[in-house]
């Protein structure tokens, strides 16, 4: 079964916007927030299990698809203020994650450039000193060490820049998509449930 078929069978699609919907049931508004975080509501962290769930759902859905997150609540009183607090907290959380991923990507690039610079110095020294007569075993070992070191640093720079950077780059795109997700609230009508 293709990945696209798998996610289509697991998630609804908004017919108006075309966004893929991730449904989340909450008992109360406060369940959204981390239970050990006692800061003001607009600055509180998202519950860690909710973050993990959103990450798993995001991995299921292709990156090119936009998301809509629908929180379904079974409560007596609807509070637009608490909805706004959840939206603000959600945006703050994923904005911070986006900044962290951006920093990580920049750090990979910086480290790769540093390693490449060291590799060039070692290879330049090898080329420069290779012209000098290699009469002793110690000088040959030293030259071979420069050559091997230069190639090892070159490989590490290339590996870091083109292979290790893939995961933070993908995570950055996933975070960007979660940040741009539409957040909506749906409420269960208790009178309808009682009649059923």
Boundaries of every domain in the chain: 3-195
Q: Average the pLDDT over 51-59 and give the result.
A: 90
Q: Are 94 and 178 in contact (CB under 8 A)?
A: yes
Q: Would the pLDDT of 4 be above 80? A: no
pLDDT confidence of 8, banded at 50, 70, 90? confident
pTM, full prediction = 0.76
- DSSP H/E element including 25: strand 20-26
Q: Would the pLDDT of 76 be above 70? A: yes
* pLDDT for residue 143: 87
Separation CA 69–CA 59 (nearest Å):
15
Decide which of 66 and 35 is more confident: 66
Separation CA 51–CA 186 (nearest Å):
20
Buried b (16+ CB within 10 A) or exposed e, 134-152: eeeeeeeeebeebbebbee
* pLDDT for residue 44: 57
Buried b (16+ CB within 10 A) or exposed e, 3-32: eeeebeeebeeeeeeebbbbebebeebeeb
Greatest Cα pair distance in the chain: 97
3-state helix, strand, coil in the chain (%, to 5): 65, 10, 25
- DSSP H/E element including 178: helix 166-179
Of 178, 195, 182, 196, whose CA–CA distance to 50 is shortest?
178
Question: How much of the chain, in percent, has pLDDT values that exceed 90?
Answer: 33
User: Tell me: the pLDDT tens digits for 129-185?
Assistant: 887 766 777 888 888 899 999 999 999 999 888 888 888 888 889 999 999 999 999
For the chain, what is the mean pLDDT?
83
User: Tell me: the pLDDT tens digits for 81-110?
Assistant: 888 988 988 998 899 899 998 898 899 899
């Amino acid at each position: 079964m293709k990945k696209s078929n798998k996610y289509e069978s697991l998630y609804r699609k908004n017919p108006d916007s075309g966004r893929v919907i991730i449904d989340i049931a909450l008992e109360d508004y406060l369940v959204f927030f981390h239970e050990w975080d006692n800061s003001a509501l607009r600055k509180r962290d998202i519950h860690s299990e909710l973050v993990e769930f959103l990450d798993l759902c995001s991995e299921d859905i292709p990156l090119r698809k936009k998301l809509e997150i629908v929180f379904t609540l079974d409560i007596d009183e609807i509070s637009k203020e608490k909805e706004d607090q959840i939206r603000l907290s959600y945006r703050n959380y994923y904005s911070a994650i986006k900044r962290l991923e951006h920093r990580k990507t920049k750090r990979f690039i910086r480290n790769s450039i540093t390693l490449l610079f060291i590799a060039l110095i070692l290879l330049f020294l090898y080329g420069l000193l290779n012209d000098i007569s290699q009469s002793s075993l110690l000088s040959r070992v030293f030259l071979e060490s420069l050559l091997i070191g230069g190639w090892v640093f070159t490989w590490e720079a290339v590996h870091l820049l083109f292979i290790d950077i893939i995961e933070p780059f993908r995570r950055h795109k996933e975070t960007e998509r979660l940040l741009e997700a539409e957040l909506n609230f749906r409420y269960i009508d208790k009178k309808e449930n009682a009649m059923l």
